[in-house]
Amino acid sequence: MMNNKYNFSSKFKIANIFSLVLFVASVLFILFKGLNYGIDFKGGTLIELRANNTKASEIRTVLNNMNVGDVNVKKFGQEGDFLIKVEQKENDGNKITSQIKENLSDNLNTKINFRRVENVGPKISSELLQSGIIAISLSLAAMLFYIWIRFEWQFSIGSIIALFHDVVITLGIFSVLSLEINLSIIAAVLTIVGYSMNDTVVIYDRIRENLNKYNRLNISEIADLSINDTLARTIITSVTTLLALLSIFILGGEILRGFSFAMILGVIIGTYSSIFVASPMLKFLKVTFKTLEKEEEKIVP
Amino acid sequence: MLNFSKINTLIIYLIFFSVAIFSSLNFQNKDKKYIDKKINLGLDLQGGSYLLLEINSDSLIQEKIQDKLIPIKKILKENNIEYSNFKINKQSLLVEINDIEKFDLIFYSRKDNLINPYIDNYRSFELSYKKKNKNQIEINFSKFGLLTINNSAIKQSIEIVRRRIDDVGTKEPTILQRGEKRILIELPGLKDPERIKSILGKTAKLNFRLVSENDEFGIDKLISENDEELNVSKRIIMSGENLIDAQPNINNQNNEPTVSFTLDRLGAQKFGRATTDNIGKRLAIVLDGSIVSAPSINEAITSGSGVISGNFSFQEATDLALLLRSGALPTPLLVVEERTVGPDLGEDSIKSGTTSLIVGFILVILFMLYKYKIFGLIANTALIANLLMLIGFLTILEATLTLPGIAGIILTVGMAVDANVLIFERIKEELKTEKSIIHAFDTGYRKAKITVLDANITTLIATIILFAFGSGPVKGFAITLGIGIITTLFTAYFLARHLSSLVVLNTKNKEIKI
């Protein structure tokens, strides 16, 4: 039965150490380096403009002369496109964007096309951050609950640890690379939660089935067998999802780039965690075929 | 699982076609629409402005509590309750009285209570008071009193915002209440929201007040349009509420833009009396606490109409007329969130979104063909059907498609094949032990069912939470992804299964490769 297959369980230990190191490093980065919040969560003004004959430094000079607070100007996408971020000073939402636009138009000697102008006040940004955190927590809780209903509590714990692992490491990478966290990243994280759970459930389903079928095998062997059984599916689905995501990442334009990058990270980490985090957790929680016995009738379709 | 009765088959295809056909509505000729339903483009795709405004009820509450001062004093006098040290403290009134018990009876009287009306809806009085010291009490609005003030302020604000925006003439504006204190405005196609913002940024409280050195009502020192400091009486002769119309004009003599106004009957009376009695004095026209102009009254104006001039540009005169026509906002509005996307960025987004959708779609289709051959074809047919149904559903719901929404569709394409992959892989396993192909397919579909359901429900949970908590574009993502999951389940479990059964049942030999 186990011929021609990969022995995953022998790698569990090394993988767990690897995961733990990544996890702890991510937590440290998030705590000490912090996350690079965009204006959605920090408040402030964002302007995307297109102007042919100007430089980032010129734009910076104009804005610094206005004394509006911390200013960040960078190239964005094609030549002549710039993204400007101005930190929130106080809530003067009625005027700040028009003042900035006026000043840029007056002082840069070129025609400016304001492609995108956003301003988020401090109240709204803290509300958005709060609802983002609630949404992610709630989705984790909902997953925990769903798995607890459909499986045993051990599976529920195992899957939630895998989810935490995915979310924290994805955010850790965002912290290391100083990538911006905005509303679409929250959407990406929630989708990662859904995807990673999806992946874990497929393997867990098979583990449950095999536990019932082969009660002579121990949990490591069952896990190995189940991971191998579903491996083709795991890979094919990851590939098609990644194909779609790569297409967004490369062709979908600047606005979707952060989102698709987070998703790509999440799909890779999520696939890894289903095999190397969620499955060994069951061994750690001492799952055997006896765990299922009480509810056997419920499980078999 | 492979046996489909005729009636089941019919139902499956009927459902598919009746949903999918709606996707075609998006390609109707604009002038000749059979059914007027289509997917709307979000502001991030068609360009436009999104504004979130917040009313500032603090100042309103201060005003309202001050208005209570005189009536309360009056009622205390009428009932022979002695009072002293009446003070206004931001949003409350402080007073020392000798007979709190008697005051309590009057204050909380349900009959003809002019100072503290009973609000039936909430079963509560408008005001409440508490004892501060032995004799001192503090009067302020009750929780429900505040709620009533806030509700009427937000309703009134929305009404006035709507009038002002309609007057400017943007196409298809959306104006909605958000929460207790906020107004959401969406202005599709608007390139520059500055004019709208400046129009909504003014409360437009208009007063006509006399310029006088001393006045029994007190005096405000205000700066006139010519930078002179004028003493303006606090007494309001007439306010903007009495205006029934205002129009921008050009003065014939000096070509200066002006605003002419027409008053209602009451306004005309007040105005006529005041101008008759005060010929020779100056009349200050005060808008939001600053003087627009302060002309001298040369003759009595009894016609009920007049002209405001004040060094306007024509645009300013037009906007002032608009503001006066629409009435005053009960409180100032603060822009707490603003997002504007220019039309060319929207177009670029549509282009890049569509390109990545097409490329992603082709990549997935090719990969599935390479992996599963004939069954890949089935999975791909299901995928196309899935996409058509998804677009059909979005059309039926007249959903708003945003850029993240397009990403949701692409992601659906990538993840939708999962259901079929799960099933095909299961069948492959069954084929290893099972001799009969039909049997293998049957078992494969049956055993994969639970897994497919579990796997999709988890994603659906994440999507629902995203929908509940997300805002704007992110909501669009949740909608497409959520509907995508449902259409995926349908196409995989009914359409693809039926197609598979056709292939399996018609291939009598064992040459099936998956």
Tell me, yes or no, whether A30 and A49 share the same domain. no
End-to-end CA distance of chain A: 25
End residue of a domain, out of A120, A153, A182: A120
End residue of a domain, out of A120, A138, A161: A120
Say whether residue A274 is in contact with chain B using an 8 A CB cutoff: no
Tell me, yes or no, whether A140 and A264 share the same domain. yes
Tens-digit pLDDT profile for residues A200-211: 999 999 999 999
* Shortest alpha-carbon distance between residue A117 and chain B (Å): 5
**B229-233 and B219-223: which strand pairing?**
antiparallel
Letter string b/e over residues B194-219, b meaning 16 or more CB atoms within 10 A of that residue's CB: bebbebbbbbbbbbbbbbbeebeeeb
| pLDDT at A107 exceeding the cut of 60 | yes
| pLDDT at B139 exceeding the cut of 70 | yes
Confidence of residue A174 (pLDDT cuts 50, 70, 90): very high
Q: Which residue of A has its CA nearest to B414?
A: A241
* B6-47+343-506: CATH, from 3.40.190.10, 2.40.30.10, 1.20.1640.10, 3.40.50.2300: 1.20.1640.10
Tell me, yes or no, whether A144 and A248 share the same domain. yes
Tell me, yes or no, whether A31 and A170 share the same domain. yes
Q: Where are the domains of chain B?
A: 6-47+343-506, 57-147, 206-338
Looking at the domain assignment, is residue A183 inside a domain? yes
According to the model, what pLDDT value does residue A1 have?
Answer: 41
Q: Which residues of A touch B44 (CB under 8 A)?
A: 255
Here the tokens at position A77 are 């996408």
Tell me, yes or no, whether A198 and A246 share the same domain. yes
DSSP B258: E
- Beta-bridge partner residues of B263: B243
Residue A6: how many CB atoms within 10 A of its CB? Answer: 13
Q: Which residues of A touch B342 (CB under 8 A)?
A: 113-116
Tell me, yes or no, whether A107 and A144 share the same domain. no
Tell me, yes or no, whether A133 and A280 share the same domain. yes
For residues B163 and B185, the answer to whether their CB atoms sit within 8 Å is no
- Which run of H or of E encompasses B306? strand B305-309
Tens-digit pLDDT profile for residues A233-249: 999 999 999 999 999 99
According to the model, what pLDDT value does residue A294 have?
Answer: 59
Q: What percent of chain B has pLDDT over 70?
A: 98
- Mean pLDDT of all residues in chain B? 88
- Say which CATH topology domain B206-338 has: Gyrase A; domain 2 (3.30.1360)
For residues A155 and A230, the answer to whether their CB atoms sit within 8 Å is no
- Residue A180: give its domain's CATH number: 1.20.1640.10
Q: How far apart are CA B112 and CA B114, in angstroms?
A: 6
Q: Which residues of A touch B469 (CB under 8 A)?
A: 131-132, 134-135, 138
- Residue A106: give its domain's CATH number: 3.30.70.3400
Say whether residue A55 is in contact with chain B using an 8 A CB cutoff: no
End residue of a domain, out of A96, A120, A144: A120
Quick one: average pLDDT of A42-67?
89
Task: Report the interhelical angle of A56-66 vs A96-107 (nearest 10°).
Answer: 130
Quick one: average pLDDT of B104-113?
84
For residues A160 and A143, the answer to whether their CB atoms sit within 8 Å is yes
Q: Which of residues 191-220 of B touch A (CB under 8 A)?
A: 192, 194, 197-198, 201
Quick one: average pLDDT of A128-138?
91
Tens-digit pLDDT profile for residues B271-309: 999 899 888 888 999 988 888 888 888 888 888 888 888
Angstrom CA distances, B63 to A114, B67, B317, stand at: 41, 6, 29
Quick one: average pLDDT of A179-207?
91
Looking at the domain assignment, is residue A211 inside a domain? yes
Do A253 and B407 lie within an 8 Å CB cutoff?
A: no
Tell me, yes or no, whether A14 and A105 share the same domain. no
E strands within B351-484? 400-401
Tell me, yes or no, whether A213 and A65 share the same domain. no
According to the model, what pLDDT value does residue A235 have?
Answer: 94
Tell me, yes or no, whether A64 and A91 share the same domain. yes
| pLDDT at B457 exceeding the cut of 80 | yes
Confidence of residue B113 (pLDDT cuts 50, 70, 90): confident
pTM: 0.85
Tens-digit pLDDT profile for residues B327-386: 889 998 989 999 999 989 999 999 999 999 999 999 999 999 999 988 899 999 999 999
Confidence of residue B114 (pLDDT cuts 50, 70, 90): confident
Here the tokens at position A256 are 């979707």
Looking at the domain assignment, is residue A2 inside a domain? no
Tens-digit pLDDT profile for residues A157-169: 999 999 999 999 9
CB pairs under 8 A between A and B: 231
CA A59 to chain centre: 33
Q: In what order do the strands lie in the sheet with B83-89?
A: B83-89, B92-97, B136-141, B127-131
For residues B263 and B305, the answer to whether their CB atoms sit within 8 Å is yes
| pLDDT at A93 exceeding the cut of 80 | no
Q: Please name the member of B410, B418, B428 whose beta carbon is closest to the beta carbon of A248.
A: B410
Tell me, yes or no, whether A208 and A132 share the same domain. yes
Looking at the domain assignment, is residue A181 inside a domain? yes
Mutation for A interface: B329, B375, B454, most A CBs within 10 A:
B454
For residues B222 and B290, the answer to whether their CB atoms sit within 8 Å is yes
According to the model, what pLDDT value does residue A2 have?
Answer: 43
**A36-37 and B238-239: which strand pairing?**
unpaired
Q: Which of residues 207-236 of A touch B (CB under 8 A)?
A: 209, 229-230, 232-233, 236
For residues B383 and B413, the answer to whether their CB atoms sit within 8 Å is yes
Angle at the Cα of B247 (from B230 to B285), degrees rounded to 5? 10
| pLDDT at A84 exceeding the cut of 90 | yes
Indicate the number of domains in chain A: 2
According to the model, what pLDDT value does residue A65 have?
Answer: 87
According to the model, what pLDDT value does residue B15 have?
Answer: 94
Looking at the domain assignment, is residue A4 inside a domain? no
Q: Which of residues 349-388 of B touch A (CB under 8 A)?
A: 349, 352-353, 355-357, 359-360, 363-364, 367-368, 371
Q: What percent of chain B has pLDDT over 90?
A: 34
Domain limits for position A78: 44-120
- Beta-bridge partner residues of A83: A48, A74
Residue A239: how many CB atoms within 10 A of its CB? Answer: 19
According to the model, what pLDDT value does residue B512 have?
Answer: 66
Angle at the Cα of B319 (from B315 to B321), degrees rounded to 5? 115
CA B74, B79, B81, B82 dihedral sign is positive
Tens-digit pLDDT profile for residues A9-53: 899 999 999 999 999 999 999 999 999 999 999 999 999 999 888
A55: phi > 0 → left, psi -120 to 50 → alpha, else beta; which?
beta
Q: Name the 3-class secondary structure at B221.
A: strand
Quick one: average pLDDT of B258-275?
91
Looking at the domain assignment, is residue A105 inside a domain? yes
- Which run of H or of E encompasses B449? helix B437-469
Q: How many CA atoms lie within 13 A of B364 on its CB side?
A: 34
Contacts of B83 (CB under 8 A, 6+ apart): B73, B76, B95, B96, B97, B98
| pLDDT at A297 exceeding the cut of 60 | no
Looking at the domain assignment, is residue A3 inside a domain? no
Confidence of residue A92 (pLDDT cuts 50, 70, 90): low
Confidence of residue B423 (pLDDT cuts 50, 70, 90): very high
Query: CA nearest B433: which of A229, A44, A258?
Result: A229
Tell me, yes or no, whether A199 and A283 share the same domain. yes
